[in-house]
Chain A
């Protein structure tokens, strides 16, 4: 009996060693390792970074092992489903997974988050000192943000009908928890216009603008969020040029003097030497930090954000995990609502007209139960907020305006 147990133990160790070895040899394989995520977070973040930035097979979206890291091609996460293609304005079913066809084929206006133009409202911006009609918000934006989810996330959103408010509110009414499955993954990326001379230092894309011209953009920031842990695994990367960008000082973006292990800031160290980053555009990116819990080992609120993606928030008040814990939905007095992303109560008071001169404050530390509870004045029948499993992207969902099959004929049937 003891002998067989020993043999089993040896076999398991050998399997683990082989698996680890395969990961080293095949860096394009996405790691799914909760233990590494929890205990070796920075290393795990870099492994994810390499695998998700591996050139993708355009047909399947899978990593193309025949190509090398840094090859000029869409990468794995770029084949994931774009949030704007999931949460449609009329709340309809987004249809089946179209991974592999998402990299470049969708129009820029349907790909990036930004100010939506309203055709009946004159929208103006400053060009050469003159207020000028804004015809292409993408072209006018100083940066572009996009969010994408992998197939596991997408399938869950679709199966649970979380792509519209109707489905999310049904979860609320039924008190049916929203829990993404292990393997769910999401990214947030920020791009900014770059010159052709900078292309060798950036992972870049070319975007067709409304006037038909093409413009080069470089990846400046990347969040990786994976359901390897119950409260997800959080990692953020910055381009080295961010250190010299406006506003970076307050974010302590200093790659020469990394902050070291602190309240969630574990990054800004050197790039790993064994993952093939050297000699590619990816050597110009640095791990800003990882996050796996609300508090650091000394019980202080953990803080982590990105100087670009969270530029509008006070740096010391940014915690990915705490902010996203507030992702929620509720019906109160007949109307639906979500918890605010920002700490409006403690922020600088708004000026007349709602104006504000200081960056907003986020939430840090352990979530407070009272955030989610009903309070005095609430409809007694209303239930507490239902958390949406750290996924703020669900906040893009709209009420469905699509009629169910037969609804029209039924309506006609009651008409006089």
Chain B
């Protein structure tokens, strides 16, 4: 059983780098390369941004910045809240992004969420 867990952990470590954030993550994956393949290097950041006339629209967005020479496939999960007839209600979503070497992408823009209720996100990337 211990051996199986170790194999799973090694596989995950080799194939994917994960960043979980709330507040946002700013560090890249470790630079030391595992035996099988180097972990993808990237940073991610979540922002509440204002938009629209007088900035009265608030949107949630997650940015992924590659610091890797390979193309990355990233899976972004976010969780937040919205007000449903005044009741704080949980909402979640997931997006897949392709990030080209040393480029930045917006994994998504999410509307209608309640900023004051908070949010969290998680980004996992692997070489494409």
Spell out A's residues near B (CB within 8 Å): 113-115, 118, 121-126, 129-131, 134, 140, 145, 188, 309-313, 341-342, 351-357, 360
Let me know if B10 is at the binding interface, CB within 8 A. Answer: no
| In the A-B complex, the 3 residue pairs with the closest CB atoms | A312-B56, A352-B23, A355-B48
In contact, A124 and B93 (Cβ under 8 angstroms)? yes
Q: Which residue of B lies closest to A360 (CB)?
A: B55
Contacts A121-B109, A126-B82 given; does A313 touch B46 at CB 8 Å: no
Using A115-B59, A126-B111, A131-B110 as known contacts, list a sample of 9 further A-B pairs with CB atoms less than 8 Å apart, ordered by residue number in A. Answer: A121-B108, A123-B110, A125-B112, A131-B93, A145-B52, A309-B54, A341-B54, A353-B45, A356-B48
A186 vs chain B, min Cβ distance (A): 14
| B88, CB-defined interface residue at 8 Å | no
B24 in the interface, Cβ–Cβ < 8 Å?
Answer: yes
Given contacts A354-B47, A357-B116, contact A115 B52 (CB under 8 A): yes
- A353 and B21 CA atoms in complex are apart in Å by 11
CA distance A113 to B54 in the complex (A): 10
Contact in complex: A123, B48 (CB < 8 Å): no
- Chain B residues with Cβ under 8 A from A309's Cβ? 53-54
Contact of A355 among B105, B106, B107, B115 (CB under 8 A): B115
Instruction: Find out whether the CB atom of B115 lies under 8 angstroms from the CB atom of A356.
Output: yes
Distance between Cα atoms of A352 and B82 in the complex (Å): 19
The verdict on B91 contacting chain A, using a C-beta distance below 8 Å, is yes
Q: Complex formed: what's the CA distance from A357 to B118 in Å?
A: 10
Q: Point out the residues of chain B lying under 8 angstroms from A121, CB to CB.
A: 105-106, 108-109
Tally of B interface residues using CB under 8 Å:
34
Task: Report how far A121 CA is from B63 CA in the complex, Å.
Answer: 11
Q: How long is the Cα–Cα vector from A188 to B105 in the complex, in angstroms?
A: 34
Known: A122-B95, A131-B91, A355-B115. A145 touches B59 (CB 8 A): no
Can you report 25 residue pairs joining A to B where beta carbons are below 8 Å apart?
A: A113-B52, A113-B53, A114-B57, A124-B93, A125-B110, A125-B112, A126-B113, A129-B84, A131-B91, A131-B93, A131-B110, A140-B111, A309-B54, A311-B54, A311-B56, A312-B50, A312-B54, A312-B55, A312-B56, A353-B45, A353-B46, A353-B48, A354-B47, A355-B115, A356-B115
Q: Interface code B89-115, partner A: CB below 8 Å = 1, 0 otherwise?
A: 101110100000000011111111101
The answer, among A129, A130, A353, A356, for a CB contact under 8 Å with B23, is A353
* Residue interface mask B42-74, A partner, CB < 8 A = 1: 000111111111111101000000000000000
User: Nearest Cβ in chain A — how far from B91, in angstroms?
Assistant: 6
Task: For the complex, give the distance between the alpha carbons of A268 and B9 in Å.
Answer: 67
Measured CA separation A156–B116 after assembly (Å) = 44
Which B residues are in CB contact (< 8 Å) with A357? 115-116
Q: Which of A115, A352, A356 has the most CB of B within 10 A?
A: A352
Please measure, in the bound complex, the distance between the C-alpha atom of A130 and the C-alpha atom of B91, giving whole angstroms: 7
Give min CB distance, A212 to chain B, whole Å.
23
- With a cutoff of 8 Å between Cβ atoms, the chain A residues found around residue B116 in the complex are 357
Question: Considering residues B45, B56, B57, B91, which has the most beta carbons from chain A within 10 angstroms of its beta carbon?
Answer: B56
Q: Are B111 and A115 in contact (CB under 8 A)?
A: yes
By CB atoms of chain A within 10 A, which of B50, B108, B112 has the most?
Answer: B112
Flag if B91 contacts A353 (CB, 8 Å): no
Given A129-B84, A352-B23, A353-B48: A124 and B108 within 8 A (CB)? yes
> Within the assembled complex, what's the spacing in Å between the Cα atoms of A114 and B57?
9
Nearest B residue to A305 by beta-carbon distance?
B54
Quick check: A124 and B48 within 8 Å, CB to CB? no
How many angstroms between the C-alpha atoms of A351 and B24 in the bound complex? 11
User: How far apart are the CA atoms of A341 and B110 in the complex, in Å?
Assistant: 24
